[in-house]
Amino acid sequence: MKEKVLITGASGFVGYHLIVEALQNNLEVYAAVRKNSKVDHLKDLPIQYVYLDYSDIESLKSELKDKQYDYIIHAAGVTRAISADEYDLINADYTANLANAAVQSGINLKKFVLISSLAAIGPLKGMNGIITEDTNPNPITAYGKSKLLAEHKLRAVKNLNYIILRPTAVYGPRDTGIFIFFKQVSKRLEAYIGRGQQKLSFIYVTDLAKASIRALYTGVNNTYNLSDGNFYDKYELGQLTKTILNVKTLKIHLLVNFVKLIAAVSEKASSLRNTAPILNLEKLDELTAVNWSCSIELAKQELGFYPQYLLAAGLTETLKWYRDNKWL
């Protein structure tokens, strides 16, 4: 009989790739989605859908007892919200509710894997140094703070076997975040905020999915940073994208203070509409942070995580998918 895995946030970019990797590892997949989620891209996959109320521990316990899951990969959450309270509720409190329900339900859950974020630690201020699991957390956004709070709440759940994964910037087919930059480059515009030096890190979504499945079977009650094991200067993503797409671009550098003004206006307009802004001052701080390079040595040693894609290889697959699917 196949082991059962519950994957939350299953309709999202990362969720899709988690499902594919789980199926390739002969797991019976239950995809937790919202009733209004778009799931057309999942229709041909042999999965079952579940609808969870993360605010209700009793209903979560009932669902978990009914299905008797062997594993949970919790990837549900928000990357944009209208307030810090909303971030904390969805990213942290709902994580704690699901984890507590798993323990209280009495099911034989073998592992709970939380997809957190390197934003929970935050960037380093100088070009020297590298982020490790022992780096003192200093998240610079409400999103990062909510992810760190989720980690704290998860560790406080007694009798739970868990793994916390902290991926850096994730890219790959179906992503709509970094895709905005690719779209600009395809239109021959290469825009940067300021001229300051940066060390950036990335992880191809397939490598993140493989690490998540490996975490089901290895490691106990620990936290791991994930990237492709390399770091890149601020122009390398653009240079590789231009090369792969075979385009020349107009490279421009936007003044940081000008973008700050745009971010402030975006914040104000969104608050009046009670919606989450695409760009705000916190997000700008994250985009212009100096050093996001991180060590993956612990994940190599304890999870056997060896990423298969450096940025050039991952971008080649990603951009081909965007072109094949008429995104570019």
Indicate whether 239 belongs to any domain: no
Has residue 304 got a pLDDT over 90? yes
Q: Using an 8 Å Cβ cutoff, are 2 and 28 in contact?
A: yes
Q: Tell me which of 182 and 264 has the higher pLDDT.
A: 182
Indicate whether 325 belongs to any domain: no
Confidence of residue 263 (pLDDT cuts 50, 70, 90): confident
How does pLDDT run across 215-245, given as a tens digit for each residue?
999 988 999 999 999 999 999 999 999 999 9
The pLDDT value recorded for residue 52 is 97
Indicate whether 35 belongs to any domain: yes
Give residues with Cβ within 8 angstroms of 124, minimum separation 6. Answer: 130, 131, 135, 290, 291, 292, 293
How does pLDDT run across 91-130, given as a tens digit for each residue?
999 999 999 999 999 999 999 999 999 999 999 999 999 9
The pLDDT value recorded for residue 264 is 86
CA distances from 1 to 9, 21, 186, 189, 223 (A): 25, 18, 47, 53, 30
The pLDDT value recorded for residue 198 is 96
Indicate whether 296 belongs to any domain: yes
Domain of 151?
4-175+201-228+292-308
Distance CA 167, CA 208 (A): 7
pTM: 0.95
Indicate whether 259 belongs to any domain: no
Indicate whether 23 belongs to any domain: yes
How does pLDDT run across 28-82, given as a tens digit for each residue?
999 999 988 899 999 999 999 999 999 999 999 999 999 999 999 999 999 999 9
> In whole angstroms, what separates CA 160 from the centre of its chain?
22
DSSP 55: T
The pLDDT value recorded for residue 1 is 85
- Nearest Cα to Cα of residue 74 among 20, 116, 28, 106: 116
Confidence of residue 272 (pLDDT cuts 50, 70, 90): confident
Indicate whether 191 belongs to any domain: no
| Domain count along the chain | 1
Distance CA 252, CA 33 (A): 40
The pLDDT value recorded for residue 267 is 81
Indicate whether 15 belongs to any domain: yes
Q: What CATH code is carried by the domain that includes residue 66?
A: 3.40.50.720
